[in-house]
Amino acid sequence: MHLKKAQKWVKDDWERHSKERPEEYLQLIYLFEELGEMAEAIRKKHGKKTKKVKIDLEEEMGDVLISLCTVANQYDVDLEKAFLKSKKKIQQRHKKGL
């Protein structure tokens, strides 16, 4: 699934299934919560190596992406455009040898 489609899916899903609209700042808090869960999964990955941990990391990264899409939708940010902009910035840095 392309980034634009993923972001649209999150938007549509919110419109269809979310009866409550949390305040905007809470979506950012949720994103940080998901990042914390992802960090915990990575920490665990460096402890015991089990399949369950691998699944958790994948799941947590998915949660982070969905949460980021939600924040982007709230502020009308096109994540695909944002990604391409940042990609260009990095490529220019590489050209300059930075």
- Residues at the interface with Mg ion (CB under 5 A): 34, 37, 60, 63
Q: From the CB of 93, what's the least distance to Mg ion, in Å?
A: 32
Q: CA-to-CA distance for 98 and 89, rounded, in angstroms?
A: 11
Helix, strand, coil % over all residues of the chain, rounded to 5: 80, 0, 20
Q: From the CB of 92, what's the least distance to Mg ion, in Å?
A: 34
Nearer Cβ to Mg ion, position 9 or 36? 36
Q: From the CB of 95, what's the least distance to Mg ion, in Å?
A: 37
Q: CA-to-CA distance for 58 and 60, rounded, in angstroms?
A: 5
Residue nearest to Mg ion according to CB distances in the complex: 63
